[in-house]
Chains A and B, each alone.
Chain A
Amino acid sequence: MSQDPQRHLSKQIQQIPRSGIRDFFELVLGRDDVISLGVGEPDFASPWHIREAAIYSLERGETSYTSNLGLLSLREEIARYVAKHFDLRYDPKSEVLITVGVSEAIDLAFRALLNPGDEVIYHEPCYVSYHPSITLAYGVPVRISALPEDDFSLRAASVEAAITPKTRALMLNFPTNPTGATIARKELEAIAELAVAHDLIVLSDEIYSELRYDDTEHTSIATLPGMKERTIFLHGFSKYFAMTGFRIGYACAPPVLTEAMMKIHQYSMLCAPITSQIAATEALRHGEGPAQEMHQAYTNRRNLLLSRFREAGIPCFAPGGAFYAFPDIRATGMTSQAFAKQLLDEESVACVPGDAFGPTGEGFLRCCYAASTESLREATKRIGRFYQSHL
């Protein structure tokens, strides 16, 4: 009799289901005829000045470890950037931690904060790592829905309804991957009041905050009264500066929280790669112009995508941020999975089924418009044709 090969695995890891994105990824893999709107990253290579700075640092032999917190020069640039763009002031010596992407920072934060059984409230549809990161840190994920009728924004009332005596933290992500949703300042203020009243820590993933459209405002919750001391502000270089492969994110938080996260980071990661940290420093020093050009390109593509969906009669709210649109395919009566799989089979277009990001995404599709206009034109033509023929 064969023994269960899973028996060596921890209960924690066994609890975590396979990512819905991975399943879909494997369907697409190996097909080279596919137009993909299924990616979660810019289609631009990192701007040349950033790549050149990385190359130059290698030529100079900068290949060592850095401080566990990260290069002080980068932390100083981050403190300046965050002060200028978010009106938040952090001490680069004790309140900024450079991580390997925001994903690592989220993992560190949960591991630093949670005791077994502590509850963390998160809103979905959301980025795929939140739920498993909470589970891996022995926390209990408490899911609340950002609803289609609210254009997938979050209501403070939903947060309030989920708070229990065991609630330790709240995970926020605006603008949101996968919906592109943003949140109004008033709602954010009400959420902040709840966090203060219930002594919650807030993890605020603001990785898409520069990528906003139609004059949508962005407020970091950390700027609201009583919030800086209880917020872990999370940001990185992947999206706005198109540096996904460099893997640089950062967390800004009060010294005690930063120190706690650094403790884990120093033993698991030691430090983020120095080449990437130098590239990130260059991005903050001279990257605003090239980043704004990319932002302009996303603006144009978003217009294109939304107008094509409108023409095809596919309902889709105008997302205020990120580079995703989240069209509503419920009129076809198909599940997101069935729609996405058939769309791939019949029209060779890859979009990610909305339920891969949480149950509230069922009936929706994530379409990333960080793709060339030619690809977007062809893909939307095919999506429109497919949608019409399945009504």
Chain B
Amino acid sequence: MNPLLDLLKKDARQSPAELAELLGRDAAAVAQEIAALEADGIIMGYSAILDPERHEPNRVTAMIEVRLSPERGGGFDRTAKRIAAFPQVTSCYLMSGSYDLLVMVEGDDLREVARFVSETLSTMNGILSTATHFQLKTYKAHGILQANETEDKRLPVSP
């Protein structure tokens, strides 16, 4: 793994100068590498990670298992891309196993998500079935545990 990307994944707000100190490199060279990674599309974007329990606690997230019939030539791609393009869909993956797509949907309330599933998703061509699971509580998201570990409990000075 690229050590620069490792650091950016942990905290993307570090400046090139700060990153350079951690990497033992020149700040200008680090800035240049970041620009290249962005231009290349390896870095696709930067975003804030919010606590879902406190920021919009009423927002509803559902994971929908979708079974669909593959098309000759295109497989699942065409339908999957159509589903993924809806703004309500936050992630969409082709899966191995007993269903084909895992679609994550967010909405302001239960009704909105339910309407998306019953009126939009289920009625699309090629969709064989859907199974909707509503998220009840977050324990960990984006690699961050909800219940934080205790702060530094070390003795201030030790041999």
**A residues whose Cβ falls under 8 Å from a Cβ of B:** 19, 21, 24-25, 28-29, 31, 34, 36, 38-41, 43, 45, 127-129, 177, 296, 300-301, 303-304, 306-308, 350, 352, 373, 377
Question: B21 touching A39 by the CB < 8 A rule?
Answer: no
Contact of B158 among A40, A301, A304 (CB under 8 A): A40
B156 on interface, CB distance cutoff 8 Å: yes
Q: What 3 A-B pairs come out closest when comparing CB atoms? A: A303-B24, A38-B157, A300-B22
A296 engages B157 (CB within 8 Å) = no
Contact A373 B159 (CB under 8 A): no
- Contact: A39 with B155, CB < 8 Å? yes
B7 on interface, CB distance cutoff 8 Å = yes
Given known A304-B21, A308-B21, contact A38–B156 (CB-CB < 8 A): yes
Q: In angstroms, how far is the closest chain B Cβ from the Cβ of A174? A: 17
Residue from B6, B7, B24, B159 in contact with A127 in the complex, judged by beta carbons closer than 8 Å = B159
Within 8 Å CB of A45, what residues of B?
149
Give 10 A-B pairs besides A38-B157, A308-B21, A373-B22 with Cβ atoms closer than 8 angstroms. Answer: A25-B155, A29-B156, A31-B156, A128-B159, A177-B159, A300-B7, A300-B22, A300-B23, A303-B21, A306-B24
B contact set with A: CB distance below 8 Å: 3, 6-7, 18, 21-24, 149, 152, 154-159
Q: Closest Cβ of chain A: how far from B40's Cβ, in Å?
A: 23
- The answer on a CB contact under 8 Å between B159 and A296 is no
Nearest neighbor of B25 in chain A, beta-carbon distance? A303
Whether B149 lies near A307 (C-beta < 8 A) is no
Distance, CA A300 to CA B158, complexed state (A):
23
What residues on A are CB-neighbors of B154 within 8 Å? Answer: 36, 39, 41, 43
| In contact, A19 and B23 (Cβ under 8 angstroms) | no
Please give the distance in Å from A274's CB to the nearest CB on chain B.
24
A307 near B158 (CB under 8 angstroms)? Answer: no
Report Cα–Cα, A65/B118, bound state, in Å: 61
